[in-house]
Amino acid sequence: MPLLEIENLHASIGDKPILKGINLTINPSEIHAIMGPNGSGKSTLSYVLAGRDGYEVTDGDIRLDGVSVMEMEADERARAGLFLAFQYPVELPGVGGMSFLRGAVNARRIEAGLGEIDHIAFVKTVREAANKLGIKDDMLKRAVNVGFSGGEKKRYEILQMALLEPKMAILDETDSGLDVDALRIVSEGVNALKTDDIGVLVITHYQRLLDYIIPDHVHILADGKIVKSGDKTLALEVEKSGYGEFTNAA
């Protein structure tokens, strides 16, 4: 069974249609990349998938594991195994990092009928995972994303992903704001997650990230529609010729 099915998805912000009929199927263990010019609707797609308020889905369906998520709130979708790494992670002043991470992990565990995680064991798990991503202990103690650099915020997104063990991960421009070292570390984090049944949707503006996270399929999004799909060579093609031909076509 496909992991994520996006079927004829139309979505608007206010009266303005942004997504204009998106079809995409992601099977377990596949990595898909969506590329597209700024303003083509990539972040909108990621938000609509994650269940953010303020978007009106005017047509179509989104199914996770064969079950429509259209009636599910963002938190239910997350507990069902969907994860979004934000293009712009949100600062939460006053919300301690550790209690945030624990709250998120416990929400999933309780849904799965497991008890709350042991406090001390959790701190250890978080430290180890953070260490692999080059996140310093001191960052874990701070309020969520407050005072983090752009790169630190992106690493922190990947840390959350590692701890939450999603079925389907969506990464919205995780590469932007990262230097080459950080890019490599973050990609290792993503690749480490790629067990047999996880699906990954990588959203990016540049081909660069795809040198580290090798996609099985590449799709070009322009003006709210997927205008071309192919294998990883499509990304290289776009890198060379730019998005011009697609935006003109759209």
Ligand X SMILES: Nc1ncnc2c1ncn2[C@@H]1O[C@H](COP(=O)(O)OP(=O)(O)O)[C@@H](O)[C@H]1O
Give the interface with Mg ion as residue ranges (CB under 5 A). 42-43, 87
Contact 60, 10 (CB under 8 A): yes
Closest to another protein by CB, 91 or 137 = 91
As a whole number of angstroms, the distance between CA 216 and CA 235 comes to: 11
Edge-to-edge strands, sheet with 217-222: 82-85, 168-172, 199-204, 31-35, 217-222, 225-230
Which residue, 105 or 182, has its beta carbon nearer to another protein? 105
Q: For ligand X, which is the closer residue by CB, 129 or 223?
A: 223
Residues that contact ligand X, how many (by CB under 6 A): 11
What's the CA gap between 37 and 35, in Å, rounded?
Answer: 7
Q: What is the largest CA-CA distance in the chain?
A: 56
What's the closest the beta carbon of residue 107 comes to another protein, in angstroms? 4
User: What is the rounded CA–CA span in Å between residue 73 and residue 90?
Assistant: 19
Site for ligand X in 15-54 (CB under 6 A): 16, 18, 36, 38-44
225 binds, among ligand X, another protein, Mg ion, none (CB under 5 to 8 A by kind): none
Give the closest residue to 159 by CA, choosing from 182, 179, 134: 134
Pick from ligand X, another protein, Mg ion, none: which does 143 bind, CB < 5 to 8 A by kind? Answer: another protein
Question: Does residue 153 interact with another protein by CB under 8 A?
Answer: no
Give the one residue of 92, 114, 214, 236 binding another protein; rule: CB under 8 A.
92
> Looking at beta carbons only, is 42 or 102 nearer to Mg ion?
42
CB-wise, 12 or 125, nearer to ligand X? Answer: 12
Residue 243 Cα distances to 26, 87, 201, 206, 234, angstroms: 24, 20, 20, 11, 11
Query: What's 215's DSSP letter?
Result: -
Q: Does position 15 bind another protein by CB under 8 A? A: no
Residues 118-147 that bind another protein (CB under 8 A): 143
Residue 151 and residue 178 in contact, taking contact as beta carbons nearer than 8 Å: yes
70: contact with ligand X by CB under 6 A:
no
- Binding residues for another protein, rule: CB under 8 A, are 50-54, 73-75, 78-79, 83-84, 86, 89-95, 100, 103-104, 107-108, 111, 143, 160, 164
